[in-house]
A = this chain, B = another copy of it.
Amino acid sequence: MKFRRLPPLHTLEAFDAAARSLSFKRAAGELHLTPSAISHQIKSLEHFLGIDLFRRGNRTLELTDGGRAYLAVVRDTLTRLREGSGRVVQRYGRASLKISMGPYLASEIVVPALASFQEAHPDIDVRIETELRPIDLLQEDLDIALRFGRGQWPHLTAERLMTVAAVPVCTPALARQLRKTTPAQLGAVALIHSIPLPDGWQDWARGASVTLGAAASDIWLDSYLAILRAAEQGVGLAMGLVPMVNPWLRQKKLAMPWPQLRSELPQGYYLLHRKDDGERREVLLFRDWLQALLQRETVLD
């Protein structure tokens, strides 16, 4: 009981993506779907139109003439709609995003890149809060929270942003010394612990299958940024989290004494938002932008 003289929009997006990459698999990756879904969508679009859009060589896709012509229509339609929506929102909308994240993520990753988001979407007011209360209901007027955890947040949509691996870091000078020993013999070195991730060292040792010797002293700090700063100052060994620690390694502020002793953590970084906000434009745009940003950061590993 439905009347469309128009193909469903999502098939157009799928078609555009597939035509751009000439691969259902890549298009699926781009749209965060399975190749099967793309295949079904394209098929239903072809069925709707009554014409074939792709010629399926066995491991190669190519557009038919009709497909090429239709691609132009679809591109035109989608860009007009996208731009038109943006223009109207910019003119009449008062979109704002209040985002909560840890101080490290804020100061090292998100804020430095934020200009590019503002530039792309000048109509969206972004407001970042770095208070990291453990009890963090989105009952208050927050739109998005970035949190470290296992992805279990009841009544919220949680989307994994990155998988995180633990690896010990310290000053390059200290790293050179430690390289000659093992984690079992820490000697005079202090271990820097993170209050948000209290079992970090044990989890790492288990994951990397090493035994961890007693440290000369144990220091506890309450934020990831503080830990890295302490390590940078030569206080001792801190548990670095890849890829967040990458910029510090690149800039030689920190180094890894045992780069191969890296262990994946069961936790990861998640983007949380209310379920009703799952289609809010600002939320989607920020999520896309952040994912692309972290992608780049991770690739430069």
Contact = CB atoms under 8 A, between A and B. Distances in A.
Interface size class of A (residues with CB under 8 A): 35 or more
Contacts of A33: 1-2
A84 B1 CA distance: 25
Interface stretch (A62-70, A170-178, A206-214, A242-250): A62-70
Interface in A238-278: 276, 278
A41 to B, nearest CB: 12
12 contacts: A4-B10, A5-B281, A6-B9, A7-B279, A47-B276, A48-B281, A49-B85, A65-B92, A66-B92, A73-B84, A74-B81, A77-B84
A73 B51 contact: no
B49 A81 contact: no
A129 interface: no
A88 B76 contact: no
A74 to B, nearest CB: 8
A76 B31 CA distance: 25
A111 interface: no
A296 interface: no
B76 A80 contact: yes
A203 interface: no
A9 B33 CA distance: 19
A28 to B, nearest CB: 12
A81 B77 contact: yes
Interface secondary structure of A, over-half rule: helix
B48 A279 contact: yes
The residue among A48, A284, A287 with the most chain B CB atoms within 10 A of its own CB is A48
Contacts of A5: 82, 281, 284-285, 288
Given A6-B81, A77-B81, A32 B1 contact: yes
Nearest first, the 6 A-B pairs at minimum CB distance are: A9-B9, A73-B84, A66-B92, A50-B95, A51-B93, A77-B81
A85 B66 contact: no
A78 interface: yes
A284 B69 contact: no
A50 B85 contact: no
The residue among A3, A76, A93 with the most chain B CB atoms within 10 A of its own CB is A3
